[in-house]
Structure 1
Amino acid sequence: MFISDQETATDMLQYEAIAKTVVKLIERTPGIPITIGVHGDWGAGKSSVLKMAQAALEEKEGVLCVWFNGWAFEGFEDAKTVVLETIIEELKRARPTSQKVKDAAKKLLKRVDWLKAAKKAGGLAFTVATGLPTFSQLGDLIGAAKTALGKSAKELTRQDIEGFADETTGIFKDAEEDSVPAHIHAFRKEFIELLEAAEIKQLVVMVDDLDRCLPSTAIGTLEAIRLFLFVERTAFVIGADEMMIEYAVRDHFPDLPPSAGPVSYARNYLEKLIQVPFRIPSLGVAETRTYITLLLIEAAFGSDHDGFKKLLDAAREDMRRPWLSEGITSKAMASAMGGANPPAAEQALVLAGQLTTMLAEGTKGNPRQIKRFLNSMLLRKEIGEARGFGADISVPALAKLMLAERFKSDFFEEIAREVSGASDGRSVRIKKLEEFVSTPAPVAAEATKPGTLSKTKPGKANPPDDIEDWAKIDWIKTWASLSPSLADVDLRPYIFVTRDKRMLLGGTGASTQLGQLTDELMSGSWMAKTAAQTAQGMTAPFAEELFDSVKLRILEEDSFTKQPAGVRGLLELVKARPELESRLVEFARELSVDKVGVWPPAAFGNAFTDSTARLEFQEILAGWAVQTENKPLQKASELSSKIGAK
């Protein structure tokens, strides 16, 4: 099963109400240009709203709906000309047999070509002013001529280029377009002529993913719309996070004053470009529960399944008043499915009840993040099936562990380390935690008469020492109270499929213990010392393998400006197993001088008891002290050498 993350016209979130409002607003302003903003965080469903509005508008006579994805054209030199060309080409495609449309479009495209050619000239008609283009301008002119004449660079002759320059310059001379306002006015006039030639009552342009673009692209797109295309019979629906567009304004115009009264200049600029804003709200708890259920049912049965369609209709009716919603109940599910609920439907209800609160809070009601979580869960279940141990994985238990992994990674890491070292794969600490949270809360002592003993009702005792830190965190206590209980579950299969970066579990007890000790030495906490003491009783080959395992994990880090947590584990391991000092020297030698901070001299300075290893490290330290690539390391090494000499 897989839940698609593409924009969809299937409304599971009551977004159709926003789309209908957008369509109605466009219909009521046919002769007036309008820009409408559909705002929301990434993954909030903006593209889906635009798709729903587009589907409704395309059914209306005389309306042409064009889709423009700003992100798809990221990296193009000039966003303005890309927008103009795209919309003109779409108008040509909409009326492929009309010669009037072809002629009007050709005239406009020549203007766009010339605009591209003259972009770097500092004016719109450099040949008029100077008669001679620069080398950069000449390159732009050749590119524009290739487009206009339909020839390759090799096919172009001098006469072609001069003729193209004369023709385009003539256009600008006719319109007196040495001034930018005159050029814009002429373009807008000819754009209206193109709409009339195409017999379009209203052109609606859906602009998507603008908030993913670089600031210059975002601003260029909005300015092209406002300056060139914002004419009668046009509407622009712009899907973007308004905070990102405000950031683009500030970045593109860094010299703007910080504010103008209660509203910033960036906000004023945005409001000038986008007249009517719609903000997509985050999902609440009720909407999240319904959304999870519908996603899982659609993934299990398909969007064309009659049961899913009936359930979707019931959910839409229920969500008309979300403050009264009970979510999709087992009874509603059975009614949609035509009788008893299939196992997949029952599981969807269970998972929705289990995940809703924490996903709504953790994702801040973001639909895309909810989809990503569910997809990851379903994928990991499939991995278990493919590896042959799918029967050992219960999806509700997997979902519970994944909540910890997603929202409390340190807590999850502790569980993984304990489970990896347990012979039965069970977590004693989780069992204690679940027992602790299930114990009734303390009840205050009853009032008694003077001179008599107080009577106290039984209450919750203090948590055991090894879960005391967990018991202080409300999120973890809520997590522990979720069904199902994990106290008596072998969690090793779950840990195996949830570890994306590395797998702790191998086929032998030795490799399992190696992974557990490696994680503990990498933790940078008191567990590193405990792990090193455990390694004292291991064989020499195992100790060497453990050292190398930790070293490789450290060297996988991206930055060494601060001391990596695993270095403490190596030092503890070398202290417990002095025969590994030579390996520590080699590790110090492998550190890249240009990437480390000032920590190595102090970290390794007192680590060596063997005279040979100490002498070799002093040579490394001397090398650090004379190199000039890393001045902070050089000074730290010089200081460490002086202290060592004393």
Structure 2
Amino acid sequence: MFLNDQETATDLLYYEAIAKTVVKLVDKTLDSPVTVGVHGDWGAGKSSVLKMLEASFAGNDRVLCLWFNGWTFEGFEDAKTVVLETIVDELRRARPTSEKVKEIAKKVLKRIDWLKLARKAGGFALTAATGIPTFDQVKGLYEFAASFLAKPQEHITAEDLKAAAEKAGDFIKDADESSDNLPEHIHAFRKEFKELLDAADVDRLVVIVDDLDRCLPKTAIATLEAIRLFLFVERSAFVIGADELMIEYAVREHFPDLPPSAGPVSYARNYLEKLIQVPFRIPALGAAETRVYVTLLLAENALGSDDARFLALLNAAREDMKRPWKSRGLDRRTVESAMGGSVPTEVDQALVISAHVTQILSEGTRGNPRQIKRFLNSLMLRQAIAEERGFGTDIQRPVLAKIMLAERFYPDFYEQIARLAAHHPDGQPDAVRQFEEHVRHPTTANDEDDEQGATKARKGSRGTQAAVATEVAEWDKNQWAISWAAMEPSLINVDLRPYVFVTRDKRSSLGGLAAASHLEGLVEKLMGPTLMVRGAADEIARLTAPESEEVFDTLRGRILQEDKFNAKPKGVDGLVRLVTVHPALQRRALEFVRELPIEKLGTWAASSWGACFRDAGVATDFQTILKAWSEQTENKVLQKAAHGIAKLAQRG
């Protein structure tokens, strides 16, 4: 019934082309080490591409493909040695019958043990770049540990130090005298690692590193440096799946004293480009690709991934996506042709939904496959709930999808519709009818409204008509609402009450889709005092664009629930901080300011936004708002504050 959010086994987005390109690159650079980056936002499909890459190497005995998930080892004391140890262990498991591999792997692991021992010893002058002590430092640890056995102290047992001394002693006995300086350590490890590859008898070692952008900065940087310093040898290839913006953020956090830039490119970007030689960026889905994706997801869900009709449709989609700029997005004619002229009811409904929601869903999710899938999952979940409660026949998927688009991307608009539907005797709000008719048939609608307005006025219903006109006028100022009203299906003569009921099943504080718990926690911090907001800086910076929008919508909704606005409401400081870190939200913040009830506002409304309105156009529009506030007369406190802030801005 529902769509799995894990790496997909079926390539619905034709990402196989990216995987095949990476395979060709690896095959053509057999004698050279290479690092390849597969970049994209969270939910863009990086892990799916990496799984396809792994599958491409399956069955090739000359290529050994290993999988390393950085997030799995989050929280380990020394991520560098964990990376090294994991890869050596995987090599040993891949060649279980080779005595030579076992022997050399044991030698390499002993050196890794020395590295771990050195890290745990404490008090070393570790280098910032590698975190590796010199040979003399480890030798000093050994001598200290050996002598310590005679007079053990209470806080460390003799057994602990004996084991440490034995490990350090084993290494020192086997170590080359020339290994006293740091470069020699690195060269020795690389030499031993190459011997291990020779023993494994492979033409190429391919290590796939996934979920690196989910790690804390320290872990992400340690993983990348382990790859470059120790494992970057001939016949090795590393394919790293990560959002490059998150890795740049990790670089800035790990090296806070870096200057801001080096010419046109930041130091953080230069660092990333040094570590990753060949970047592949997974593009966001365009409108046509979104339509194809939605259709395929729903068709696969209805028919099954092994159904011959679905496979025929998938082949047609792949052919269509070869030239996405020419794509019609799997229109009905293409689907009918792929399925031999007979379109199952479920697929027909998938076509209807994809045609209707594509534009807004593509723009709202910024073409992110995971966000699209979550929307569809929520859609199917709600229809299933309606069926279980016994009113499934009152719910039509296309109508539900349209209502959910408003809920997800314009929550205030949705709340108005929900309120109007709940209070209308038939669940068919006059405002919705009037707005849709105005958008679809502006001339006819205006004539009808004039006639109906005159009739209602004669019946003494001028107050109701005025309320309807006010809401329609407000919606008519918003291009999103206009596009929504123009979408099929029309909601005229549709009882919206069952749709409102089934979409009000939110269990978290976040609107629309089921939200991750870390977002709920962040919202609570941003609703807190200033110090708590400042403490959430790292979490804010790690948000993806869709997540930042979700947090913004939640904060906005909770702020607007306040009855009093004379003092600054909780959440405003958090909202400002969020928009400052994610400047793409500036326009949405400006719309929020416009929505504030002028008659209730205190001085904070004029003075709180300077930090986040950095875009010149947004700043100019905010000055227009301040000017309007300074000229109004119903709120003297706001008038005076807005006048003062506007004058300060002019002087600045």
* TM more than 0.5: yes
Instruction: State the distance in 1 between where 2:566 and 2:397 align.
Output: 38
Name the CA shift for 1:494/1:204 in 2 (closer, same or farther; >3 Å): same
Q: Which SS does the other structure have where 1:13 is aligned?
A: coil
Corresponding position of 1:104: 104
Corresponding position of 1:389: 391
Asked whether 1:128 is paired with 2:139, we answer: yes
Q: Which SS does the other structure have where 1:369 is aligned?
A: helix
Deviation at 1:176, TM superposition (A): 3.6
Asked if the contact 1:440–1:459 (Cα under 8 Å) also holds between the matched residues in 2, the reply is no
Q: Which SS does the other structure have where 1:566 is aligned?
A: coil
Deviation at 1:160, TM superposition (A): 4.7
Instruction: State the distance in 1 between where 2:224 and 2:419 align.
Output: 52
Corresponding position of 1:492: 497
Q: What's the TM-score, normalizing by structure 2? A: 0.70
Deviation at 1:178, TM superposition (A): 3.2
Matches within 5 A, 1:249-268: 249-268=251-270
Corresponding position of 1:168: 171
Instruction: Tell me the alpha carbon deviations over residues 273-302 of structure 1, each in whole angstroms, 9 at most, x when there is no partner.
Output: 000111111111111111110000011111
Corresponding position of 2:529: none
Asked whether 1:425 is paired with 2:421, we answer: no
Name the CA shift for 1:133/1:51 in 2 (closer, same or farther; >3 Å): farther
Deviation at 1:368, TM superposition (A): 0.9
Q: Is there any run of 5+ residues in structure 1 with no aligned partner, and where?
A: 139-152, 443-456, 504-557, 572-601, 604-646
1:270 to 266, 269, 272: 272
Deviation at 1:501, TM superposition (A): 3.3
2:562 to 560, 566, 571: 566
Corresponding position of 2:588: none
Asked whether 1:214 is paired with 2:219, we answer: no
Asked if the contact 1:175–1:182 (Cα under 8 Å) also holds between the matched residues in 2, the reply is no
Instruction: Tell me the alpha carbon deviations over residues 197-233 of structure 1, each in whole angstroms, 9 at most, x when there is no partner.
Output: 1111100011111111111111100000000000000
Name the CA shift for 1:230/1:415 in 2 (closer, same or farther; >3 Å): same
Corresponding position of 2:551: none
Corresponding position of 1:48: 48
Asked whether 1:477 is paired with 2:487, we answer: no
Name the CA shift for 1:262/1:127 in 2 (closer, same or farther; >3 Å): closer
Corresponding position of 1:18: 18
Name the CA shift for 1:175/1:5 in 2 (closer, same or farther; >3 Å): farther
Letter in 2 for 1:41: D
Letter in 2 for 1:272: K
Asked whether 1:31 is paired with 2:24, we answer: no
RMSD between aligned residues: 3.2
Letter in 2 for 1:171: D
* Larger CA deviation: 306-315 vs 333-342: 333-342
Name the CA shift for 1:226/1:158 in 2 (closer, same or farther; >3 Å): closer
Corresponding position of 2:95: 95
Instruction: State the distance in 2 between where 1:429 and 1:210 align.
Output: 49
Instruction: State the distance in 2 between where 1:134 and 1:416 align.
Output: 72
Corresponding position of 1:449: none
1:466 to 471, 486, 491: 471
Instruction: State the distance in 2 between where 1:271 and 1:501 align.
Output: 43
Letter in 2 for 1:128: K
Deviation at 1:460, TM superposition (A): 10
Instruction: State the distance in 1 between where 2:344 and 2:21 align.
Output: 38
Instruction: State the distance in 2 between where 1:346 and 1:335 align.
Output: 13
Instruction: Tell me the alpha carbon deviations over residues 177-202 of structure 1, each in whole angstroms, 9 at most, x when there is no partner.
Output: 33221111111100001111111110
Deviation at 1:388, TM superposition (A): 1.6
Instruction: Tell me the alpha carbon deviations over residues 502-530 of structure 1, each in whole angstroms, 9 at most, x when there is no partner.
Output: 79xxxxxxxxxxxxxxxxxxxxxxxxxxx
Name the CA shift for 1:76/1:474 in 2 (closer, same or farther; >3 Å): same
1:342 to 341, 344, 366: 344
Name the CA shift for 1:55/1:502 in 2 (closer, same or farther; >3 Å): closer
Deviation at 1:246, TM superposition (A): 1.0
Deviation at 1:352, TM superposition (A): 0.6
Corresponding position of 1:635: none
Matches within 5 A, 1:207-606: 207-440=209-442, 464-501=469-506, 565-568=561-564
* Larger CA deviation: 487-496 vs 344-353: 487-496
Larger radius of gyration: 1
Q: Which SS does the other structure have where 1:464 is aligned?
A: helix
Instruction: Tell me the alpha carbon deviations over residues 406-440 of structure 1, each in whole angstroms, 9 at most, x when there is no partner.
Output: 10001011111222223322222111111111224
Instruction: Tell me the alpha carbon deviations over residues 243-292 of structure 1, each in whole angstroms, 9 at most, x when there is no partner.
Output: 11111111111111111112111111111100011111111111111111
Instruction: State the distance in 1 between where 2:218 and 2:342 align.
Output: 57
User: Number of paired residues?
Assistant: 489
* Larger CA deviation: 420-429 vs 299-308: 420-429
Q: What's the TM-score, normalizing by structure 1? A: 0.71
Q: Which SS does the other structure have where 2:65 is aligned?
A: strand
Corresponding position of 2:82: 82
Corresponding position of 1:198: 200
Deviation at 1:308, TM superposition (A): 0.8
Instruction: State the distance in 2 between where 1:86 and 1:475 align.
Output: 50
Asked if the contact 2:142–2:169 (Cα under 8 Å) also holds between the matched residues in 1, the reply is no
Asked if the contact 1:115–1:124 (Cα under 8 Å) also holds between the matched residues in 2, the reply is no
Deviation at 1:156, TM superposition (A): 5.9
Instruction: State the distance in 2 between where 1:281 and 1:215 align.
Output: 25
Provide the identity percentage.
59
Deviation at 1:168, TM superposition (A): 2.1
Asked if the contact 2:291–2:355 (Cα under 8 Å) also holds between the matched residues in 1, the reply is yes
Instruction: State the distance in 1 between where 2:489 and 2:141 align.
Output: 79
Q: Which SS does the other structure have where 1:426 is aligned?
A: coil
Corresponding position of 1:446: none
